[in-house]
Amino acid sequence: MLSDARERMLRRAARDILPGMTVNLGIGLPTQVLHHVDRTMAICLHSENGIAGVGPQLSPEEADRNLIDAGGAYVSPIAGTSYFDSAVSFAIVRSGRLDLTLLGAFEVAGNGDLANWIIPGRFSPGVGGAIELAQKARRVGVLTTHTDKRGNPKILERCTLPLTAAACVNRIYSDMAVCDVTPEGLRLTEIAEGVDLQDVIDATGTTLIVPDGPLPTF
Partner 1 sequence: MAMPDKSADIGSAIARIHDGASVMLGGFGVPGTPFCLIEELVRQGPKNLTIIKNDANEMGMGVDWLLENGQVSKLVASHIGLNARAIAMMNDGALSVEFVAQGILAERIRIAGAGLLGFVTDIGMGTPLAEGKQQVSVNGVTGILEPALKADFALVHAETADTFGNLFYAAAARNFNPLMAMAAHCTIAEAETIVDQGRIKPENVHTPGPFVDQLVTLKQLPEVYGVVRR
* CB neighbour list of residue 132: distance below 8 Å, 6 or more residues apart: 90, 93, 94
102 CB-contact burial (10 Å; exposed 0-12 / middle 13-18 / buried 19+): buried
Between residue 189 and residue 208, which ones bind partner 1 under the rule CB under 8 A?
none
Identified binder of partner 1 from the candidate list 6, 11, 50, 157, rule CB under 8 A: 50
Cα–Cα distance, 41 to 168 (Å, whole number): 27
| Cβ atoms of residues 180 and 201 within 8 Å | no
Identified binder of partner 1 from the candidate list 4, 85, 148, 196, rule CB under 8 A: 85
Residue 8 sits in the site that holds partner 1 (CB under 8 A): no
Residue 78 sits in the site that holds partner 1 (CB under 8 A): yes
Residue 209 sits in the site that holds partner 1 (CB under 8 A): no
Give catalytic status of residue 48 as yes or no.
yes
* CB neighbour list of residue 193: distance below 8 Å, 6 or more residues apart: 8, 217, 218
Encode 7-34: b = buried (16+ Cβ within 10 Å), e = exposed: ebbbebbbebbeeebbbbbbbebbbbbb
Residue 96 or residue 211: which is nearer to partner 1 going by CB?
96
Residue 93 sits in the site that holds partner 1 (CB under 8 A): yes
Residue 164 sits in the site that holds partner 1 (CB under 8 A): yes
Cα–Cα distance, 64 to 73 (Å, whole number): 11
Window of 1-9, 86-94, 102-110, 170-178 that interacts with partner 1 by CB under 8 A: 86-94
Identified binder of partner 1 from the candidate list 6, 11, 15, 97, rule CB under 8 A: 97
Residues making contact with partner 1 (CB under 8 A): 19-20, 22, 39-53, 55-56, 60, 64-70, 72, 74, 77-97, 118, 124-132, 135-136, 162-166
Q: Kindly list the catalytic residues.
A: 48
